[in-house]
Amino acid sequence: MLVAAPLVVGGCLLMLVPRVDSSALQLALLVFGSGLCGAIYVVCPAMLGEFAPVSQRGAVISIMPRPVARSCMPFQQIGRVASPIRYRLNWEHMIGNLCARTITRALSRSVGAAFALAPTLLWSGAASAQPPKIGDPPEALNMRLVGTNDLQARSAYQPTIHKQGDRWIAYIGHHGGTDAIPKPINPLTGKPEPSGTSILDVTDPAHPVYLKHIPGQEGTYESGGAQMVRICDGATLPKGDKSAVYMLRTFGGEAHEIWNVADPANPVLITRLGGLRDTHKSWWECDTGVAFLVSGAPGWRTRRMSQVYDLSDPAHPIKIRDFGLVGQEPGATGAVPTELHGPISTGPKVNRVYFGYGTNRGGILQIVDRDKLINGAKEPTPVNLQYPEISRLNMSSLNGAHTTFPMPGMPIAEFAKDKVGSTRDIVLIVDEAILNECGEARQMVWLADVTIENRPMVISNYTVPEASGSFCQRGGRFGAHSSSESMAPVYYKKIAFISFFNAGVRALDVRDPYHPKEIGYFIPAVTQATDPRCVRAEGKERCKTAVQTNNVETDERGYIYVVDRANTGLHILELTGAARAAAGLQ
């Protein structure tokens, strides 16, 4: 049995304490002292590399000034952390760079022999491979839960947050139901309904109010639902009804629909563009009305390509053209290039559209001249399809391109004194993990410098370290999926939020895109509604329950909205601590 082992280290008393499972004792340990009694209790998974959840790690380390070690008064709870027991706390954020360096140097000089002589004591608490349990609290760093809604236990894909008058409304697209529950009950009607679009009032983010569910296409998983949603005000669209608010959504794989949601509790269908084989992640320019709709058009050789529409008058849509990669068009022969996942347009001012092809392999970033795309010859011949393309960045066969988020004109502090190149055009490329329990290559985040457009190049990357949470063993998918896409000034070109499935949402400081840095995260707690994810192992099915943070978006107030693929609902978050300071928020 392990016992407490005090050591004197550089004027401090270092105490190694065994793993504890009592919640009360964990809470008593994971606290700060006040004044000179500055006790820091931390679990040591990897040579003091990070603070970690007591319940998931092993030996606890206590560091306090030696003269006051015997006379410490009752401790005070850590500042803004709502539930300190399992929150991973960053060393340098908690005790400051100088103190961290001082203690680290002292430990490296004085405790090296102790680490060598007693490895089992310090490493006995390797990260747990057990999946989270119902009742476990969330895990967080520099992010705080503000409010939540279960979204009627529906698998969620795209959240879009829109200010309507003095209200903030969240529109959330859903995947289809599960095999066990193909049509979840809508408590507002008391009836089972195919998952479609949830509409919530999030004016008070601590108390979101569910207003309406619009059913989608019948079917399970990605074969049903209404996963994508975009919003434009009629007052902004060139030919829209000035009193209307328009919602563009998919209807399963068969159609795109436009609804008037000026009264979000009573939406009205305006337009339907049907006859498709598939749909996905579309983009709508509210100032021009031009929409880039991810569709499966009849005759095309790929499941997903782009249909460009003029939706400036949503009641009277005008098709501009079909578009895709050469080889996808009707009548082509040979290998079919990877399918489209989604475009993002910078509008007429910057005149670029960034198309992302591929999901978890063979990704392509295609940079397109928007004006040539809209006004060029429309017949989908190889020459006409090639005409608007400026360049491509071909990803590895191991990685896809789910999201291609442009950040043009970024000032680079390191290059501020350089005669040329002090600002750069950057594209954030996010892959999508597909297989459960790390059954594929790691899907990550890549930052590409596209300043010289005909020579785009990857300059950096980011992933969540798997060992930081034993994510390959937690269950479900682990890896990147998507980024926030709001271009509102509150976070744009400063903080990107990345959904990482069972590793939750990650706040990524991209102000220096050559050296992106994680500054916060939030992993929601599993609930009774969380749908298990299964793999085939040793001839039988093995299932685990873990959150699957699917997509993320922000609003202009600075709130972060994450939704879950495994039916765990909506979580509304805000930044705290160093991450809040990095964003320039008060």
pLDDT digits (tens, 9 = 90+) for 196-219: 999 999 999 999 999 999 999 999
Nearest alpha-carbon partner for 284 in 272, 274, 292: 292
Residue 89: is its pLDDT beyond 60?
no
Domain extent, residue 523, equals 139-582
Domain presence at residue 159 = yes
Domain presence at residue 129 = no
In 301-417 the beta strands, taken as DSSP E runs, fall at 305-310, 318-323, 340-345, 352-357, 364-369, 389-394, 403-411
* Rounded average pLDDT over 567-586: 97
Regarding predicted confidence, which is higher, 100 or 541? 541
> Would you say 545 and 131 are in contact if contact means Cβ atoms under 8 Å apart?
yes
Nearest alpha-carbon partner for 152 in 97, 107, 203, 208: 208
> Would you say 208 and 562 are in contact if contact means Cβ atoms under 8 Å apart?
no
So what's the pLDDT on residue 68? 33
Domain count, the chain: 2
Residue 129 pLDDT level (bands cut at 50, 70, 90):
low
Task: Tell me the pLDDT tens digit for each residue of 444-461.
Answer: 999 999 999 999 999 999
96, 123, 150 - which closes a domain? 123
Nearest alpha-carbon partner for 428 in 465, 467, 382, 460: 460
Residue 464 pLDDT level (bands cut at 50, 70, 90):
very high
Q: What's the CA gap between 91 and 36, in Å, rounded?
A: 19
Please tell me whether residues 168 and 279 are part of one structural domain.
yes
123, 154, 177 - which closes a domain? 123
Residue 103: is its pLDDT beyond 60?
no
78, 98, 123 - which closes a domain? 123
Please tell me whether residues 216 and 85 are part of one structural domain.
no
So what's the pLDDT on residue 130? 67
> Would you say 459 and 513 are in contact if contact means Cβ atoms under 8 Å apart?
yes
Please tell me whether residues 154 and 205 are part of one structural domain.
yes
Which CATH number does the domain housing residue 414 bear? 2.130.10.10
So what's the pLDDT on residue 132? 83
So what's the pLDDT on residue 586? 84
Least confident residue range of 109-118, 225-234, 476-485: 109-118
Task: Tell me the pLDDT tens digit for each residue of 8-43.
Answer: 444 444 444 444 444 444 444 444 333 333 334 343
